[in-house]
Amino acid sequence: MTPAEILGRVLYKDQDVIVLDKPAGLAVHAGPNSPDHLELYFNALTFGWAEPPRLAHRLDRDTSGCLILGRHDKAVKRLGKLFAAHRIEKLYWSVCIGSPPAERGTVDVPILKVSSRGQGWRIKVDPLGQPSITDWSVKGRCDDLTWIEWRPRTGRTHQIRIHAKHLGCPLLGDAYYGADPDTMAPLHLLARAVSLPPMAPSKPPIRVTAPPPVHMREALAICGWEES
């Protein structure tokens, strides 16, 4: 990623917050399998400040869309408190294989992170797990595909992917939790929008929307999405 490319992905900026359109396929921070990651490029987002911004939360490597960054220590701490108090709303879009049993509903099941020798870790529905709640609604259907909007109330790892599987309609391109572990399709999951309360009494609320990535547009269009 070049500085121009990351600058072109800035969806919103003020003195406290940057909201970035994270590309699919790029991890947000370093890891054993992530020598190339998004934080390497944050120096392009200083906009005259001495320090680069920092992550206020995480998105999975293969999820695209709205990622919130704090521009300084005070902003990062404030964002952390807002996330902890569930005052930052996140909205996701996905394209799923199959169809849920209704037009809208809520998934409320505990999920647990488990590991197995030689296979890494996975998340599964388990009564011993942490509470996880997501409201969902169908926005469009066609043949065996469904366009679903998700509003998570909790922020567990892989929550939407597990909840989609629990509903019987795993995400298109989900090699971990879908029906086809050999799928070549990229994951069809977009962090579509974020809503933040004012960061200061004199400031308005913040709402930012990310466009669907190129790899999701065909399937979304099949399900009824129209680019405005």
Segment 104-111 shows an average pLDDT of: 98
**Contact at 8 Å (CB) between 17 and 75?**
yes
What is the pTM (predicted TM-score) of this model? 0.94
pLDDT band at 5 (very low <50, low <70, confident <90, very high): very high
**pLDDT at position 179:** 84
Number of structural domains the chain divides into: 1
Q: Could you tell me if residue 193 is inside a domain?
A: yes
Helix residue ranges per DSSP H, the chain: 3-7, 73-84, 159-166, 214-222
Task: Write down the pLDDT at residue 55.
Answer: 97
Q: Is the alpha carbon torsion for 135, 100, 60, 67 positive or negative?
A: negative
Does the structure show a pLDDT above 90 at 202?
no
Asked if residue 12 belongs to a domain, the reply is yes
Which pLDDT band, with edges at 50, 70 and 90, does 36 fall under?
A: confident
- Residue 29 belongs to some domain of the structure: yes
Per-residue pLDDT at 32? 73
Which structural domain, as residue segments, surrounds residue 137? 3-222
Active site residue ranges: 60
High-pLDDT (> 70) share of the chain, %: 98
Query: Domain for residue 189, yes or no?
Result: yes
> In the chain, where do the E strands start and end?
10-13, 17-22, 54-55, 64-70, 89-97, 104-108, 111-116, 120-125, 133-142, 145-152, 189-196, 206-209
Q: Does residue 66 sit within a domain?
A: yes
* Per-residue pLDDT reduced to its tens digit, 152-181: 999 999 999 999 999 999 999 999 999 888
| 228 within domain boundaries | no
Whether residue 227 lies inside any domain: the answer is: no
Residue 77: CATH number of its domain = 3.30.2350.10
Retrieve residue 2's tokens. 């070049």
Residue 120: predicted pLDDT:
76
Which pLDDT belongs to residue 118?
Answer: 63
Cα distances from 37 to residues 58, 60, 209, in angstroms, run: 12, 12, 23
Reading the block at residue 46, the tokens are 């200083």
Q: Pick from 127, 120, 126, 134: which is nearest to 164 by CA? A: 134
Q: In whole numbers, what is the pLDDT of the chain averaged over residues?
A: 94
Which pLDDT tens digit goes with each residue over 174-200? Answer: 999 998 888 999 999 999 999 999 988
What is the pLDDT, as a whole number, of residue 119?
Answer: 66
User: Is residue 113 one of the residues assigned to a domain?
Assistant: yes
Helix/strand/coil for 195: strand
